[in-house]
């Protein structure tokens, strides 16, 4: 069996929503170059919905596929729903990831959360800080 599912390979080969949003309402980043992966998410929020989302990723095949899938899962969704995206949902939508690649899906979740935090901060919207307790890039992911 191949390392990755067909869905992962499809999102890796044809990543959706690659790029940046110049006038983004929220920008979030997760990971670091020493770990070998960085994800950056740009959000455009309109009327409490995700009007647009773009990503840039430095990382392996599953990191790129996870970013692509995560952006697809939140695009057009209400903020509350998008905020609730979990790494588990990303992994399931990708038809699974190898165990040692699960942290890629965590990174996607974290980058999106960081972008929402940036949006709240910029707009002085109060929030519960405990929502944004980031995990480090290689901590255990939820399978």
Asked if 63 touches other proteins (CB under 8 A), the answer is yes
- Concerning whether 137 is annotated as a catalytic residue, the answer is no
Asked if 10 touches other proteins (CB under 8 A), the answer is no
Q: How far is CA 13 from CA 60, 88, 111, 123, in A?
A: 12, 22, 21, 36
Q: Pick the closer one to other proteins by CB: 30 or 50.
A: 30
Q: Yes or no: say if 107 and 100 are a contact pair by the CB < 8 Å rule.
A: no
* Rg, C-alpha atoms of the chain: 14
| Three-state SS at 39 | strand
Contact segment (CB under 8 A) with other proteins among 43-51, 52-60, 70-78, 117-125 equals: 52-60
Tabulate helix, strand, coil % of the chain (nearest 5).
45, 20, 35
Contact segment (CB under 8 A) with other proteins among 37-45, 74-82, 83-91, 126-134 equals: 37-45
Catalytic residues: 35, 104
Binding site for other proteins (CB under 8 A): 9, 12-13, 15, 18-19, 29, 33-40, 56-61, 63-64, 100-101, 138
């Amino acid at each position: 069996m191949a390392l990755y599912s067909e869905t992962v390979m499809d999102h890796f080969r044809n990543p959706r929503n690659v790029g940046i949003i110049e006038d983004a309402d929220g920008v979030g980043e997760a990971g670091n170059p020493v770990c070998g992966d960085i994800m950056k998410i740009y959000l455009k929020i309109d009327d409490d919905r995700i009007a647009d989302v773009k990503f840039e990723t430095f990382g392996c095949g599953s990191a790129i596929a996870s970013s692509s899938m995560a952006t697809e899962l939140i695009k057009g969704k209400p903020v509350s729903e998008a905020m609730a995206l979990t790494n588990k949902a990303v992994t399931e939508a990708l038809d699974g990831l190898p165990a040692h690649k699960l942290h890629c899906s965590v990174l996607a979740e974290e980058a999106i959360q960081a972008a929402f935090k940036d949006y709240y901060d910029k707009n002085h919207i109060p929030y519960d800080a405990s929502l944004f307790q980031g995990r480090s890039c290689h901590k255990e992911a939820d399978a």
